[in-house]
A and B are shown apart, each in its own frame.
Chain A
Amino acid sequence: MTTAPRLYRKPISTFWWLRRRSYFVFVLRELSSVFVAWFVVYLLFLVTAVSSGTAEYERFLNWSAGPWVLALNAITLVFVLLHAVTWFNLAPRAIVVRVRSWRVPPVLILALHYLLWGLLSAIVLWVVLR
Chain B
Amino acid sequence: MVDRITLQVARYRPDQETEPVLQSYEVPLRKEWAVLDGLNYIKDQLDGTLSYRWSCRMGICGSCGMTINGEPQLSCATFLTDYAPGPVRVEPLRNFPVIRDLVVEIDDFMRKLTKVKPWLIREEDEPLEDGEYLQTPSEMDDYRKYSMCINCMLCYSACPVYALDPEFIGPAAIALAQRYNLDSRDEGAEDRRDVLASAEGVWACTFVGECSTACPKGVDPAGAIQRYKLTAATRSLKDFLLPWRAR
Q: Which residues of A line the B interface, CB within 8 A?
A: 5-10, 12, 16-17, 19-20, 22-23, 26, 29-30, 86, 90, 93-96, 101
Contacts and interface: CB of A to CB of B under 8 A. Distances in A.
Interface string B174-209: 000000000000000000000000000000001111
A122 to B, nearest CB: 27
B110 interface: no
B: interface residue count bin: 20 to 34
A8 B230 contact: no
Interface stretch (B32-40, B52-60, B77-85, B94-102): B94-102
B190 to A, nearest CB: 20
B229 A8 contact: no
Interface string B64-81: 000000100000000000
Given A8-B19, A96-B227, A20 B210 contact: yes
Contact of B208 (A8, A26, A96): A26
Q: Which 6 A-B pairs have the closest CB atoms?
A: A94-B226, A7-B97, A93-B223, A6-B14, A8-B98, A26-B208
Nearest to B100: A5
Given A5-B100, A16-B163, A26-B207, 20 more contacts: A7-B97, A7-B99, A8-B12, A8-B20, A8-B97, A9-B98, A16-B160, A23-B208, A26-B160, A29-B206, A30-B206, A86-B207, A90-B226, A93-B220, A93-B222, A94-B223, A94-B226, A94-B230, A95-B227, A96-B227
Contacts of B138: 101
A92 B191 CA distance: 26
B128 interface: no
B208 A22 contact: yes
Given A17-B160, A93-B227, A94-B230, A10 B94 contact: yes
Nearest to B18: A8
B164 interface: yes
Contacts of A86: 207
B213 interface: yes
A118 B223 CA distance: 25
A95 to B, nearest CB: 6
A80 B132 CA distance: 52
